[in-house]
Amino acid sequence: MPELPEVETARAALERSALHRTIADVDDTDTWVCRPHSPGEIREAIVGRQFSAAHRRGKSMWLSTSRDGPDLGVHLGMAGRVFVTDPDGEVVEGGDRVRGALDGKPEWNRFTVTFESGAVLRLFDKRRLGRVRLDPDVDALGPDAELVGLGEFREVMGRGKAPLKARLLDQSMLAGVGNLLADQTLWQARLDPRRRVDTLDDDEVARLHRELRKATKAAIRRGGVHTGEVIAHRGKGEHCPRCGAEMTRATVGGRTTWWCPEEQR
């Protein structure tokens, strides 16, 4: 599933190529992806407007529209990717890693915006788990994992007795961390994912915050969470790339979790 870094690549692609273009047409006929809106409802709301800004909070992304129009929420689901194609064929893209998307089945383009210039924005989603809706509610999300400050992070980690990984995955507490980014962050911070949040001292919280920021920014820069140093070693018989100890597996926070039993304590 796309995590914060992949969604940020999609937001950046939209910011680069989809803003300040007048919207000429919208294909919002996929009633599942565009629920609860009926076909034509999104089209009617945004045709003639322009996207004025691209925003993200955690894994949620939305576009502001001109003339006090509604926000357009675009959620990538588990395998969504956005493409903006100019009339000259130049393509700017971002989101989940998808091979052959430009040549994929047309029905996998779940939502399409055509601009007056001839450019086209489309949400490509083979699994049909993405979502497009007007004025999405993001108030239930916690602070963004890329931007959260140390003080706010201390508050998040100081509540309750949840395992560290479960807390990192709780989007109401901290928005944007998924399964892979959590494992990468905890490996970098040398912390056991099963440890309770109330057992961390101030230095450990500061270290976790620092490594979360580093892991997130590195994944954005490199193109996704799959680029993390420990990710390729999350498997049976694999070994920690730092010390060589065999990796350990368990379910933590409802998700399959891998860690180094020697270094993560």
Tell me the pLDDT tens digit for each residue of 114-132: 999 999 999 999 899 999 9
Dist CA 209 CA 191 (whole Å): 12
**102 with 156: CB under 8 angstroms?**
no
Q: Are residues 204 and 109 in the same domain?
A: no
pTM over 0.85: yes
**pLDDT tens figures, 80-90:** 999 999 999 99
**pLDDT tens figures, 8-64:** 999 999 999 999 999 999 999 999 999 999 999 999 999 999 999 999 999 999 999
What is the domain extent for residue 69?
4-134
Q: Are residues 117 and 90 in the same domain?
A: yes
Residue 242 lies in a domain: yes
Supply 170's token pair.
């709780």
Q: Which among 67, 63, 68 has a CA at the least distance from the CA of 132? A: 63
Residue 24 lies in a domain: yes
- Which one-letter DSSP state was computed for residue 175? B
Q: Are residues 106 and 174 in the same domain?
A: no
DSSP string, 211-247: HHHHHHHHHHHHTSGGGSTTGGG-STT-B-TTT-PBP
DSSP string, 186-198: HHHHT--TTSBGG
Q: Are residues 157 and 72 in the same domain?
A: no
Measured in degrees and rounded to the nearest 5, phi and psi for residue 163 equal: -60, 150
Cis peptide before 36 (omega within 30 of 0): yes
